[in-house]
Amino acid sequence: MKSLIVSLKALIVFTLLTGLAYPILITGFAQVFFREKANGSMIKKGEKTVGSSLIGQQFNSAIYFTSRPSATDYNPMPSGASNSGITSLKLKELVYYRQGVFITFNKSDTISRIPSEMVFASASGLDPHISPTAAFLQADRIAEVRNYDETQKIKLKQLIQNQIETPQLFCLGNERINVLLLNLEVDKIK
């Protein structure tokens, strides 16, 4: 009986510590020091929330830059990769299909120019970034569909250049561009 009482007391103490005090402390810390990230890095256009800078989303319209493919159809709840190995026939067919779509959609002249992130989904299926190369390959399509004159085309390419993010801590990852942020800026070109 004595062991049972000690066990129940330990259960209550640790439940209060780890189930109540710790989450409140960490939530408070995050709200004070990392408010934007703790709240999902939401991006608003006026009063409307248009997305998160941390989660990729699909852009089907030809007037926007397209994101990299998603194995989860951009659904953040079951995020994950397709888990298809490099010897998978299904993955091979999917890559060829995505190459064809990219070439047709962007009127590209060769498969060798397509960056790998435009034919392979990311590990989470929700990566919001593409490489600068992928963005520049889509620029001509966007300029054509939006009927840009030469000045606007130069603005578009400068905008892509300005949106390039450097590797984290100057060494983790590659240069990248957030597609949602880029598309919001493209809408501002007059």
- Domain assignments of the chain as residue spans, ordered by start: 1-39, 42-186
Residue 46 has pLDDT above 80, yes or no: yes
pLDDT, average across residues 19-41:
93
- State residue 25's pLDDT score: 96
- State residue 73's pLDDT score: 85
Query: pLDDT-based confidence at 145, cuts 50/70/90?
Result: very high
Contact call for residues 163 and 181 (beta carbons, < 8 A): yes
pLDDT, average across residues 59-70:
93
Residue 111 has pLDDT above 80, yes or no: no
**Farthest CA pair distance, the chain:** 85
Mean pLDDT taken over the chain = 91
Residue 112 has pLDDT above 80, yes or no: no
* Torsion 41-43-46-50 (CA) sign: negative
Give percent above pLDDT 90 in the chain.
65
d(CA 10, CA 179): 50
Which residues fall within 8 angstroms of residue 70, CB to CB, at 6 or more apart?
A: 56, 58, 121, 122, 125, 126
- State residue 140's pLDDT score: 94
